[in-house]
Chains A and B, each alone.
Chain A
Amino acid sequence: MIAEPFAVGRSPIHRMDPRPRVVLATVFSFLAALSNGIPTLAGGLAFSVILVAAARLDMGLLVRRLLPLWGFLLLLWLVLPLTHKGETLYTIGPLPATREGLLLSARITLKSHAILLAFTAWVATMSFVTLGHALNRLRAPEKIVHLLLLTYRYIFVLEEEYGRLLRAARLRGFQPGTNLHTYRTYAYLIGMLFLRAADRAQRVHRAMQCRGFQGKFYSLYRFRAAPSDWIGGAAMTVAMIGLVYLEWKCRNLS
């Protein structure tokens, strides 16, 4: 089930025109991913924390969303300092931990948090449908937009169908275990699901043809940028230019 817990809200970010939000989030991710200076990355993280605060996100939910990332980062912090070549800072048993390894772990941590938080604040605060239409307005390839919107529409239907199949199997005494019978049953269920999805796709296409579909979708949505959007967007752009400047400084120093 796709839940959109952040999509509802009345914060300044929620009220901002979705198009600049998508653009800013994309530019910012590239910026954070390509920067290497620790000050730049720390600045980027601070910027995304401010965004999260401005979007007034539910902290509990946000932490739950970050948990998988933390698990992954924990692994990196354990492995990278010990495996990366460089100047030895300390040793754990026979293994030397390097300065470069620690720095790399810190960079990855800062980058991933900055990107994830900025995306949550900017993009997760709009509904899936709005995102689709914003991409459409931004002239993203139509096929991608349709794929996105149709997937969103039918993922629930397929989930329900899968649930029905699984229930039918359970009612006939199916209990999943670690054995060939279980694997085979799941393979059958998934195979059935693919068949049904293909059938449904054909029926949906026919229904669309009957309503005169000729390969082109028309969007009913129109977005209007308010003056406050221009000011907000400009401020965020200036902040990002500041980050670029910081990165340039960092590179010149080293």
Chain B
Amino acid sequence: MATHSTLRNDLAERAKNITRRELQRYAESTKGSQAATARARKVMPMGVPSSFQYYDPHPIVVRSAQAAWMEDVDGNRYVDYDMGFGALFAGHMNPHVRAAIEEQLGHGTLYVTPCESNTEVAELLVQRYGLPMWRFTNSGTEATMDAIRVARGVTGREKIVKVEGGYHGHHDEVMISMKPALDLAGPADAPVGVPATAGITAAVLGDTVVVPYNDADALERALAANDVAAFIVEPVMENIGICLPQPGYLEAVREITRRHGTMLIFDEVKTGITAGWDGATGVLGVQPDLVCLAKSIGGGLPIGAFGGTRECMDEITTGRVLHLGTYNGNPLVMAAARAVPAPCAREVRRDR
């Protein structure tokens, strides 16, 4: 009878053989992508516009997408299950979204003065998330950056806490312990913050405390001194596959953060409408102080948003916290955001 380790070795050997054969096949079928990447490398680091878009042996280079399909420069067709890292719950060029974009193109793409669709989209987010005030950004990164600034403003505190392995965009204070090497990361129940990139200052590193996900006791210890502005967390972690909260964890997080005067920020950039009409917040039934959205609310156009309690968002109303951005709430993106819910609602509304 084979032992456990023998079986694992057999699987590893077969996986190695499959990989060897398939790499050869990939090289032969994606020669156009390979050439395009080689050309791109001369003018862009790694040949890609975002380092997330590079993967070995080389990325496929895409020329078109429609509905659930993408086609690369070699003419290979793929069913897309990546869907823009989850941004395309409405699908590639959903007809509702496309019609809205085309209609808006006839009326301009950038006003830098408000349009009525700003309010319409914000009103929809109020209904869906139960938070009374919203602002728009251009990405999830901006949404988490601004939400953290609001939390610091309302609490008058500087430190934040994040989860080890959590991704909240690419601004300095959350690019810590995204995927740390374990030999640098310290003990599992009290992780050490590890910069994910060069360029993070010691001051920023010192202001970001890292805790394990699904460990309410560790959060309690991190907040004990009542000096933490915000705990930012994905209610369902989606940077390490999908990591579900253990029963009672998010409820404990809510109670602990409230007791210590720490703002609870739910990063729903990746969950959002893919989780349900009212996001993971509604599905899991725990209400944070601030919610960050992006990706799927824009139907494939760049958008972010953050919403909060009146106490939090009054920081912006009073001007104590500045929230700015030339392209925030631009009418083209708003047209798409206004069009996304209709084709999605039938799939995600629990009350339908």
Q: Does B associate with A? A: no
> B residues within 8 Å of A by Cβ?
none
